[in-house]
Amino acid sequence: MGLDIHHLYATHRQDPERFCPVDQFLSQMRPLESYFQQYDNEHLDWETMFAAHGLDHANYRSMLRTTLGRYTCFAFVDADSKGFNGPVRAVFSDEPRAKFRFMQRSRFRLPLPKSATKDALRVFGPFATVMKRETVVFFDEAGYQRGGASDAFYSEFMPDDLTCSRERVERIYDTMVPEARDGFRRQFLENWDRDRSFVLISW
């Protein structure tokens, strides 16, 4: 797990490797509405995966996502828990299932105390997927920052956040540790395009 901040330029040119779903951010992204496109995209089918274990996905939220080589792991907490508070309720990994359950071991070492995950449901094997039509914005890359945020950043910005507000991006700059600010200013503020720029936050 780590913090990645991407500065992106909206484009009308479709590229299946470069797009952001925006249905959850329509109000924030409204200034870029002219770049909205409908696109069929493969999604992880969390409803089906949770239902297979007698659970309702609506009662949970993803707290963290981490990758290791070609494998990905997600940890879920209760939907109403904030930040990193609350015990982990379920961990899904697409690592291969062991032939016998008692032999199952994960390559992942989550950055959480063992007490936070000791009672979690653990699911291994390929993720179920489903095709969905959604609103997306295709992009070209304009800048990138990895890490460099102070604690204040994590109290103000959520994982997988999206914005085209320069004011919010200036606030991100304010929450960077001093040694990261020069690079952030060059990658995000000095090359800001008011008609095309938006920022994706992932952690």
pLDDT at 85 (0 to 100): 64
Last residue of a domain, one of 103, 127, 151: 127
Q: Indicate if 165 and 181 belong to the same structural domain.
A: yes
Residue 116 and residue 55 share a domain:
yes
> Does one domain contain both 50 and 123?
yes
Q: What is residue 14's three-state secondary structure?
A: coil
**Tens digits of per-residue pLDDT, 47-105?**
999 999 999 999 999 988 888 889 999 999 999 887 776 799 999 999 998 877 767 77
Domain end among 127, 156, 187? 127
Does residue 114 share a domain with residue 143?
no
Assigned token pair, 24: 């959850």
**CA–CA distance, 58 with 6 (Å, rounded to integer):** 28
State how many domains the chain has. 2
Q: What is the pLDDT of residues 102-122, one digit of tens each?
A: 677 787 777 777 777 888 999
Residue 1 binned pLDDT confidence (cut-offs 50, 70, 90):
low
**Lateral strand order in the sheet of 71-78:** 60-68, 71-78, 90-93, 121-124
Q: Is residue 142 domain-shared with residue 170, that is, in the same domain? A: yes
Same domain, 104 and 176: no
| 28 and 50 inside one domain | no
- Whether residue 123 is found in the same domain as residue 153: no
**Are both 57 and 31 inside the same structural domain?**
no
Q: What is the dihedral of CA 197, 21, 147, 2, to 10 degrees?
A: -170
Q: Binning pLDDT at 50, 70 and 90, where does residue 148 land?
A: very high
Q: Is residue 191 domain-shared with residue 175, that is, in the same domain?
A: yes
Domain around 25: 4-39+135-202
User: Do 52 and 113 belong to one domain?
Assistant: yes
Coil/strand/helix, residue 193: coil
Helix (H, G, I), strand (E, B) or coil at 65: strand
Domain termination site, one of 100, 127, 154: 127
pTM, two decimals, is: 0.68
State whether 155 and 117 are in the same domain.
Answer: no
CB burial string 117-150: b at 16+ within 10 A, e below? beebeebbeebeeeeeebbbbbbeebbebeebbe
The pLDDT of residue 44 is 93
